[in-house]
Structure formats: structure tokens, C-alpha cells
Amino acid sequence: MNHAREFFGRIETLDALADHLQSVERGHGGRIVTLRGRRQVGKSSVVERFVERGTVPYVFVTGVFRAPATAQLADATSALVESQRPVVDADLLAQSPATSWRDWFSRLAVAARSGPVVAVLDEFPWMIEQVATLEGELQASWDRTLQKLPILLILIGSDVAMMDSLARHGRPLFGRVSPLVVPALNPAEVSQALGTSASDAFDAYLVTGGYPRLVTDLATSGAGVHRYVTRALQDEFSPLVTTGRLTLDAEFPEPQAAYQVLSAIGSSDVANPGFMDVLGAISDPSERANAQTAATRALSTLTNAKALIEREQPAWAAPTSKLRRYRVTDPYLRFWFRYVERNVDRIARGRADLAVAAFERDWETWRGHSVEPVVRQALTRLARTDPRLVEVETVLPWWTRASDVEVDVVASGNATTAMVGTIKWRTRGEVTSAEVAQLRRHRALIPHADSALVAAISPNGGAVDGVDVSYDAADLLTAWR
């Protein structure tokens, strides 16, 4: 299926949904797909595109935050007749509002007896908040009736932890759902959407995080990344300023210690702060004991339940090693915490110049640090096809306990370090011979790296004395193509 001309970056998601529908149409019974992803990544849009492009009757129900159950059911009933291709006998089925979700599922079953139906429950977590028994009612209706009918039921939610939990043991829908994740656009998709060079695409990705709304805003601005940011920071209602708050409000509807920790990591002057850096940012020395327990719990929530933070350890470190650093997982949120959150009040009171000045002052340095995990991700993907990385399983940074020596890239696997590399993401200039010489000296300190290749990674690449492998931005972009 070719969707690329119409819908950037959603080919895999559209094809996965098409496969599920095809199974339903072939008479293999009903299917439930749980579709999750951060707010603003385009989950609803991709499903709308999927149902509107198809030929199967569908109903698309959107939950409303904190709306009473009666209102939700009234909306769900009205939705039966409101799609471009309503289900069979929709007018009859929607004559009166459903009295319960079990009633609504029964009406869906009646429609599906005439042929395949796609039913979408968007913002499913908001529906569950108002009807605690909804999961159980769906499970009962599914087991008794719906699973025997040609129904593709798609449940969409932005609460990543909650949507993920639907498939866990002990929940009513355990063993009945097929999870599907909608990520933001990757760097290659951003490049395709913007029609820019590989180097500019990585800059755009670091600023927008691949969020479709932000990529579109950048594209329509007609400006390069740097100019786009300086303009957007002067408008408190620009998508670049507001999208971060919209995303985080979905994760933290009430103030939490976890948000304070997240903010401390995202806005830190240290590229990837360690635990003590985080602790120092959220507490005074006199409160350190109590803050340590709170920070530990918050980091667990942020890394495990919400997946907003990634815990990084050096290559070859034992899982129990205390050598840990933290960073915000999402590139856009890294940018937002660094340049927007701390300046929102300033922008609102007409001092956007201070936000712009902060961006101008350390954009080059921040970009150099923030691109490193993206480069490592690219190299991990390239290892599938690059013969020089044939045995590589992981690509991680490496540093000493004293942090006096750091190496950006250590590609390892099968008890061998296959490659070590340095990343220098400068606007002008390549990796220097002196930097390569330093990398070769550091290679002797890294476990199992005696014969490791030496790599230089920069936007423009280029041959450098003493380098075995070089990668430029265009090489890295192919990892997602």
C-alpha cells in the first residue's frame, strides 16, 4: 500500500491496521487493536485516514475529558450515523441513546451481522475514567458476541501507561488485544515532509521531535530551523511553545514530584545529568534525605510507567552499576524543557528576547549533545545491513567513573567492541585529526576494543587521517529508509 504521497510517515501503521482488517474480512473473527502514543503524535489522524480511505462501514467515537457517562453514550450513539460510511441500519440503531456501554456494544453487534465493521473508541482512557466497569463490559460483550463477528475494534489513548496496562495479566482484556504504537515521525520522514537536506532534517527533528503538527508548522513557515525557532519563541501561542504543555498535561493532570524531576533533567545545564545532579536541582542540602527517596520513586515512574526518561549506562557496565545518567526520551520535549518551559512567563510578559537570547547562546552546544542518542539509534539500525557492524547488538556511550574520559559511540556485541566513534555535530568543520588521535588513545581503555574500528561522525563527513569509518548526516538518514 502506498500512502507516502498523502500521509508522511504512517505507512507502517496504516499497513498494520490494513492487515488486521483483512484478517477480519477473511472471516477469522473480530480483533481488538490498542493504539497508543504521546498526545500530538497524530494517532487519531492516522486512524481517521485509515477508515476514510477504506470501503468498510465504520463508526468513530471520541471520548470527552470528564464528560458524564450519559453524554459519552449519547455521543457514541450519534456517531453510528455520522461517519462517511455509516454502519448498516445506522438510523434504526441510533433512534435512542444507548443506556449503557453493553447496550452500545449490542448495537454494534447487530450492525456487524450484515458485514465487516470498523469501530473506533478514541480517548478510551477518558471513557474508562467515567465508567469504571467499561473494560469489564467490553470483555463480557467481546467474549459472548463480538469476537465471533467481523469487527475491528480500535481503542486509542494518549495515556501510554494506561493503554499499555490493558494487555497485562489480570486486566479484563488480557489476551484479547493487539497493541500498536504510533511514534512521532522519524528523521527520514521529517526530511521527506520538509524536502530538506539530511543535516537540516536532523536539526528539524531535534526541534520538532517529529510531531506532525510542529513539522507542518515548520514547513509552512518557509523558514529554516534557526529562524523558525527564533520567530516561534516570540509568540506565546505558537505550536512550538504550546505543544509541550498540551503533551505534558495529559501525562501529569495534577502536580507531581515526577514532573519536577522531569523538568530538572530536561532543563539541566549538564547534558545528561546523573542522580546527584537531579537531586541538587530539586532540593536544598538540608532536605536531601527526604528528596532522595522522592527522586528515586519519581525516576522509576518516569522511566518505567511513563517512558518519558531514559536511563543510560556506559557500554559494558553491569546492570547493577551505579554509573547512570538520565535524559528526556522525546527530542521535542528535550528542546521544550531547555528553551521554552523556563521562559514561558517571560514570553507572556513581552520579554521573548530573553528566550531567544538563551537559544542563540547555546543552540550549537545543545544540538551537539542532543543529537548523540539519535546518532546511536541510527547506527543501531544500520547494523542490520552494514557489514562493518555485522555483530553489533548495542550502540552506547562509554565513560569512566570519574567522568574524565567519555566516548560517544561504543558499538558492541558477542563480547567484542566492533567500533568506537566520536560525534562532532558542528555547523562548519569536520572531526579533526587531534580528536581522532584522542579517540584512539581512549579506545585502549574500553573493554574488548583492541581491534575496534575508529569512526568519525559529523554532518558533512569527510576523510580524516586515522579514521577507519566515517558517517555523515545522509548516511545516518538511510537508517530509517
**Lowest mean pLDDT segment, chosen from 21-25, 37-41, 78-82, 393-397:** 37-41
Are 175 and 47 found together in one domain? yes
Are 78 and 92 found together in one domain? yes
- Between strands 309-312 and 325-328, the pairing is antiparallel
Are 280 and 350 found together in one domain? yes
- pLDDT above 90 covers a percentage of the chain that reads 76
2 in any annotated domain? no
Are 195 and 258 found together in one domain? yes
DSSP code of residue 148: G
Q: Which of 364, 393, 408 is the last residue in one of the domains?
A: 364
Predicted local distance difference test score (pLDDT) of residue 288: 67
Residue 178: phi, psi to the nearest 5? -115, 110
287 in any annotated domain? yes
- pLDDT above 70 covers a percentage of the chain that reads 96
Instruction: Provide the domain limits for residue 229.
Output: 187-364
Are 199 and 298 found together in one domain? yes
pLDDT digit string (tens) for 244-294? Answer: 998 888 778 766 788 989 999 998 877 788 888 888 888 776 676 778 888
Predicted local distance difference test score (pLDDT) of residue 286: 64
3 in any annotated domain? no
Of 444, 440, 447, 445, residue with least CA distance to 465:
440
CATH number at residue 377: 3.40.1350
Round to whole Å and give the CA distance between 418 and 399. Answer: 17
Helix axis angle, 198-208 to 187-194, nearest 10°? 110
6 in any annotated domain? no
Predicted local distance difference test score (pLDDT) of residue 1: 36
Strand partners, 422: 456
DSSP code of residue 478: G
Of 415, 381, 376, 414, residue with least CA distance to 398:
376
Are 359 and 408 found together in one domain? no
Q: Mean pLDDT throughout 202-227? A: 96
Are 96 and 206 found together in one domain? no
Are 124 and 240 found together in one domain? no
Q: What's the number of domains the chain is made of?
A: 3
Residue 47: phi, psi to the nearest 5? -70, -40
Are 222 and 353 found together in one domain? yes
pLDDT band of 3, cuts 50, 70, 90: very low
Helix (H, G, I), strand (E, B) or coil at 272: coil
Q: Which of 136, 157, 181 is the last residue in one of the domains?
A: 181
172 in any annotated domain? yes
Residue 481 parent element (H or E): none
284 in any annotated domain? yes
Reduced to 3 DSSP states, what percent helix, strand and coil does the chain have, rounded to the nearest 5?
50, 15, 35
Are 399 and 251 found together in one domain? no
Are 351 and 426 found together in one domain? no
DSSP code of residue 150: S
Q: Mean pLDDT throughout 180-184? A: 91
Indicate yes or no: pTM above 0.85: yes
CATH number at residue 70: 3.40.50.300
pLDDT digit string (tens) for 46-99? Answer: 999 999 999 999 999 999 988 999 999 999 999 999 999 999 999 999 999 999
Angle at 328 between CA 326 and CA 330, to 5 degrees: 150
The answer to whether residues 300 and 340 touch, using CB atoms and an 8 Å cutoff, is no
4 in any annotated domain? no
Q: Which of 181, 206, 234 is the last residue in one of the domains?
A: 181
pLDDT band of 373, cuts 50, 70, 90: very high
1 in any annotated domain? no
Are 347 and 404 found together in one domain? no
- CA-to-CA dists, residue 425 to 120, 199, 429, angstroms: 43, 9, 9
